[in-house]
Amino acid sequence: MLELTDVVAGYGSTVIVQGISLTVGRGECAALVGPNGHGKTTLLRAISGLLKVRSGTIAFDGTDITRVKAEKIVEHGLIHMPQGDLVFPDMTVEENLILGAFTRSAAKRARERIDEVYEIFPRLHERRTQRARTLSGGERRMLAIGRGLMGDARLIMIDEPSLGLAPVIVDEVYHQIQRIVKSGMTVLLVEENIHRAQSLAHDIHLIENGVIVRSGSGSDLLDERAIRETYLGVAE
Ligand SMILES: Nc1ncnc2c1ncn2[C@@H]1O[C@H](COP(=O)(O)OP(=O)(O)OP(=O)(O)O)[C@@H](O)[C@H]1O
Ligand SMILES: [Mg+2]
């Protein structure tokens, strides 16, 4: 469903993503795992059209989207949920959700979608009239994910849903993402913790210095001592 071939991207004269190829099949969840500053977010930005691709190609559902503008890519149903909680603090939970249905076709289905989002995130329903600024960190994360689901999403890219949250809240957010995956949505997840990634993802791609250094299932990768040492910090 999503196919990257030798994608190169960066900022100014700096090349960050140095030739990445990967495929995410329909209904699958794949994860990009890697240390800080190695190009995970940059790759998502290149896929969603927020950053120019210097070379290589990106195809989504058979359509070449390499040079397509970000607004159009969203209309294709490829939704990027950015790192950090980009919600509108002075708007209510429900107003924030409605903003996620900004394309014409999504707007028509906003009422029905909002009920689906409330079903996945009952806490958002409880707090629907509350301003986003008064939400807890975990609830804001749920709101940011819920807003992404309000579009005509066919593939969602979630950038570090666990960042800065207490472990118990991370469990809750992951449980909800699991439901989204089980519903048949295609997901590309960025996660720093390989165990968390493994709990959701079919394929894990390890990124270092802007290239994929290994790909495989979580258990395959965790069977390797060098990977355990690097990613879990366990010396054996
Ligand atoms: N707008 C920008 N302009 C210039 N350099 C940038 C910009 N955004 C990111 N970078 C640099 O690109 C590199 C990769 O950043 P990126 O955000 O892709 O890393 P990441 O793997 O997502 O890290 P993290 O796990 O911390 O989110 C870093 O060295 C960063 O400083
Ligand atoms: Mg990042």
pLDDT along the chain (236 residues), means of 10: 98 96 96 94 96 97 96 92 85 93 85 93 95 93 92 92 89 92 94 90 94 91 80 63
Which of 20, 32, 41 is the best mutation target for the ligand 1 pocket, counting ligand atoms within 8 Å of the beta carbon and taking the most? 41
What does the pLDDT read at residue 40? 96
Q: Is residue 63 part of a domain?
A: yes
- Give the pLDDT of residue 201: 94
Ligand 1 atom closest to the Cα of residue 45 is: 18
> What's the gap in Å between 41 CA and the centre of ligand 2?
4
Say how many Å lie between the CA of residue 40 and the centre of ligand 1.
8
**Domain around 22:** 1-74+193-236
In sequence order, what are the residues at sequence separation of 6 or more whose Cβ sits closer than 8 angstroms to the Cβ of residue 183?
A: none
Ligand 2 centroid, distance to 11 Cα (angstroms): 14
| Residue 189 alpha carbon to ligand 2 centre in Å | 11
Provide the b/e sequence for 114-153 (b: ≥16 CB within 10 Å).
Answer: beebbebbebbbebeeebbeebeebbbbbbbbbbbbbbbb
Q: What is the pLDDT of residue 207?
A: 95
For residue 16, the model assigns a pLDDT of 97
CA of 17 relative to ligand 1 center, distance in Å: 10
Residue 188 lies in a domain: no
- Using CA positions, which residue lies closest to atom 18 of ligand 1? 39
Q: Which helix (H) or strand (E) holds 231?
A: helix 225-232
Residue 111 in domain: no
Q: What is the pLDDT of residue 131?
A: 95
DSSP 138: H
Residue 199 lies in a domain: yes
Q: How many domains does the chain have?
A: 1
Both tokens assigned to 21: 């190829």
Residue 90 inside a domain? The answer is: no
Of the bound ligands, which one is closest to the alpha carbon of residue 12? 1
> Ligand 1 test: best mutation among 42, 47, 81, 158, most atoms within 8 Å of CB?
42
Q: pTM for the complete prediction?
A: 0.92
Strand segments (E) across 28-185: 29-33, 55-60, 63-64, 78-81, 155-159
Residue-level pLDDT at 234: 58
> Which protein residues are within 6 Å of ligand 1, measured from CB?
11, 16, 34, 36-42, 83, 192
- Atom 13 in ligand 1: residue holding the nearest Cα: 37
The enclosing domain of 30 has a CATH number of 3.40.50.300
- Residue 16 belongs to a domain: yes
Whether 133 is covered by a domain: the verdict is no
Q: What is the pLDDT of residue 115?
A: 95
